[in-house]
Chains A and B, each alone.
Chain A
Amino acid sequence: MSTPKGQFRRIAERERRRIAFTLDGVEIEALEGDTILTAILTARDHLRVAEFTEAPRAGFCLMGACQDCWVGTGGGQSLRACTTTVADGMAIVTRQ
């Protein structure tokens, strides 16, 4: 297991407005215009755990086709992380 770090690495357009959201209750910083997937994966090494195996997953196609990046809002709503823009103050839940 690697030390906690983001799977994604920002390499351009890093001078954007910083926003904050919570990920499983922990406040995380993201940049305006990030998808939820980008916001999570620049902060940690996986996006969610698979329903049946508890194995970590981190999305796959990034274009809204493979459906492997669904996360929750805590309020019962589900969001496809690769095609949803993260918003200031958003609460994202990846573990029940």
Chain B
Amino acid sequence: MSVRVVIVGGGPAGIRAAERLVAQGVCPVLLDEAPRVGGRIYQQPPQAPGFRRSAETLYGTEAEKARNLTAAFERIQAQIDYRPETMVFDLSDDRLVALHEGRRIEIGFDRLILATGAMDRIMPLPGWTLPGVYTLGGAQIALKHQGCAIGHRVAFLGAGPLLYLAAYQYAKAGVEVAAVITTASWLGLGTDPFGMAAQARTAAKGAALIAKLLSWRIPIITDARPSGIIGGNGVQALDVLVDGRLRRFDCDAVALGYGLKPESQLAELAGAQFTFDRVQNQWLPQTDDQGRAVGRDGLYLAGDGAGIQGADAAELRGRLAAGALLQDMGVARKDADDLRPLRRWHRFRIALERAMPFPSHLARDLPDATILCRCENITAGEVRAAADQGLREINRVKAATRLGMGRCQGRVCGIAGAEVLAARLGVSVDSVGRLRAQPPVKPVPIEALAGDAP
């Protein structure tokens, strides 16, 4: 019987992994939650008449990459077992459990590549559950995938490259941008010039975006301390402190995000070990430099799901993970892949994280009434009360407060919950642990859970 190889995720990493496997005569199963490949960065329009914007309009400077990736997929599509709209929600030693067209299916595997991507990393603020507040990635999806803006006058708040990119895309599409507001500083951009130079072309693209925003007279507010989103049933304004002075930006929508965090729940269930990454300031699954997971043989992690490196690096990491898998199967020779391009992306990422860090410092002063957990409506004050009662570990706090126990399983609140807990205890954030993943990793109908336990 031939070796069963399964890839989860149809973005840049998953497609490049599949392409390399096919080139060596190994035909994988490719499972993707979305109806079309591309992942989030190169998400394709819905399959309905009337979506006619060009790749240049949708993907800007990355249009060629989007086209190349789609073309690569189309070349191998007939040789792989491609299953769109298949949401993996659990796994065991040799089987994935997924939801497809409302029904539970199981897919056996011998070797598994997880290319599950990332989502926005959030630091809550008062008012962030109001209608009209979306992640930066969500704001992009509305525009790219649905031809919609998330509001009529949008403020962009956060830190990281996506902040400027999303604001640029909105302004270019003709949406009024109230302001671009960041907790980072201009000075931070110069912290690590050699790191920035490791991917000089990408750094230059980022600088060009910022220059465009400035040329359009869109205010860019740095060193800001967000104090709250104002509104009753919707967004009316965003308040931020700048140099200790309150500034109010009228808007009816806010796009929010401070970098990305990996979607690593399946990697965790599969047995990957996690380590706290001091550069990205978050827990990441551990791999070797080709993507072999530490903690489980036959498991490979690629793309942003294995730690944030961006879309270009995701293509490289997909190829590398497939190469590692082929080597381990004895299909490919053992001569090493060229790891230098990926090292340059790694170096660049360190510079980005230094220049635009996650604002851990905001956790301490979040008002007690601020909701941290959107699913269960758990506030910062409730987490602090748990800390004051002697709980020092985030899963204990989850059990006591229900923070992270709702439908999203702590995807959105887990990082902020740990930051608030650590700030209250006066300890480093890694010492309070991280929320453990539980199956099903996304909600499924109760019927889909029925049957033999996997």
Contact = CB atoms under 8 A, between A and B. Distances in A.
Interface of A: 1-2, 7-17, 31-35, 38, 41-42, 45-47, 50, 52-53, 55-68, 70, 77-78, 80, 82-83, 85
Contacts of B406: 67
A60 B374 contact: yes
B142 A62 contact: yes
Given A67-B406, A67-B407, A17 B49 contact: yes
B141 interface: yes
B443 A61 contact: no
A70 B147 CA distance: 22
B4 to A, nearest CB: 26
Contacts of A52: 376-377
Contact of A63 (B40, B49, B149, B151): B40
A2 B246 CA distance: 24
Nearest to A64: B33
B232 A38 contact: no
A13 B141 CA distance: 14
Chain A interface mostly = loop
Contact of B146 (A1, A35, A47, A65): A35
Contacts of A63: 40, 119, 135, 137-138, 141
Contacts of A1: 232-234
A45 B234 contact: yes
Interface of B: 33-34, 40, 45-53, 57, 87, 119-120, 129-135, 137-139, 141-143, 145-152, 173-175, 232-234, 252-253, 263, 374-377, 406-408, 411-412, 442-443, 445
Contact of B119 (A9, A61, A70): A61
A60 B135 contact: yes
Contacts of B50: 13, 15-17, 31-33
A47 B148 CA distance: 16
Contacts of A38: 142, 146, 148
B151 A7 contact: yes
B83 to A, nearest CB: 16
Chain B interface mostly = loop
Contacts of B141: 62-63, 82
Contact of A11 (B52, B174, B412, B443): B174
Nearest to A48: B131
B230 to A, nearest CB: 13
Nearest to B152: A9
Contact of B51 (A33, A60, A83): A33
Contacts of B174: 11
Contacts of A53: 377
A11 B442 contact: no
A7 B138 contact: no
What 9 A-B pairs come out closest when comparing CB atoms?
A16-B50, A33-B48, A58-B131, A67-B407, A62-B138, A12-B147, A33-B46, A13-B147, A46-B131
Nearest to B87: A64
A78 B193 CA distance: 50
B102 to A, nearest CB: 8
A68 B133 contact: no
B129 A59 contact: no
Nearest to B263: A65
Contacts of A59: 134, 138
B377 to A, nearest CB: 5
A61 B377 contact: no
Contacts of A62: 134-135, 137-139, 141-142
21 contacts: A7-B151, A7-B252, A8-B150, A9-B149, A10-B147, A11-B175, A16-B50, A32-B50, A33-B45, A50-B377, A57-B131, A57-B374, A60-B129, A60-B135, A60-B374, A62-B142, A64-B442, A65-B263, A65-B411, A67-B375, A77-B445
Given A33-B45, A59-B138, A67 B147 contact: no
B443 A7 contact: no
